Amino acid sequence: MKNSDRRQWAFVGGVVLLLALLVAAGWTMRDRFLPVEVGSRAPEVAAVDLQGRPVSLSDLRGQVVLFNIWATWCGPCRQEMPSMERLYGHLRGEGLRMVAVSIDAERGRLDASGNAGGDVAAFTRELGLTFDVWHQPSGQVQRDYRTTGVPESFLIGRDGRIVKKVIGATEWDHPTYLELVRRLLQE
């Protein structure tokens, strides 16, 4: 075999090895790139509650959870929250857990997009919200759930899998959602 043939085969072998490594890396890290969709396992979330205590989504495993990502500066979030409270009022006695995670920057600071940090506790009091409100100023939850903005909501079944994904504001106390959540609670 000539030197030029050896070099050519070594090059081809190197390219094949590089492609194999890229495919293997892509396969092992696919969950970091695929969208979080219906049927996906809900990514873990760590945040703090309004009293500053650490909380996590894994603490709610085995329960039906409506998980909402929002911010005080978001008009559609403000619009949606009363319907979330009404849904929670209808179904909390049946076991529904509701968690709204604020991605607001700390008060007096700006987030990466230039939005001013809001007073999450004051917002919650103003709207009379009684469900769990968490705060994660890093916004990591948006990266983990690969959101396109706020609000985005995920209805999570007892098995930790996403049953419904809603991008944008919705009327959570609409009969369709009431029926869906009741069905999940009865499973």
Distance (Å, whole) CA 54 – CA 66:
19
Distance (Å, whole) CA 110 – CA 117:
6
Average pLDDT, the chain: 90
Distance (Å, whole) CA 67 – CA 98:
6
Task: Give 165's strand partners.
Answer: 154
State residue 31's pLDDT score. 53
State residue 32's pLDDT score. 57
**Do 8 and 59 belong to one domain?**
no
**Do 22 and 51 belong to one domain?**
no
State residue 24's pLDDT score. 58
**Do 30 and 43 belong to one domain?**
no
pLDDT tens for 110-133 read 888 888 999 999 999 999 999 999
**Do 92 and 179 belong to one domain?**
yes
DSSP, res 110: B
Distance (Å, whole) CA 26 – CA 45:
24
Which amino acid belongs to residue 87?
L
Specify the number of domains making up the chain: 2
**Do 7 and 58 belong to one domain?**
no
pLDDT tens for 68-95 read 999 999 999 999 999 999 999 999 999 9
Task: Give 161's strand partners.
Answer: 41
Q: List, in order, residues 6 or more apart from 50 with CB less than 8 Å away.
A: 120, 121, 124, 133, 134, 135
Which residue range is the domain that position 165 belongs to?
36-186
Question: Which residues, given as ranges, of the chain have pLDDT below 70?
Answer: 1, 4, 10, 12-34
Tokens found for residue 130: 């009684």
**Do 96 and 108 belong to one domain?**
yes
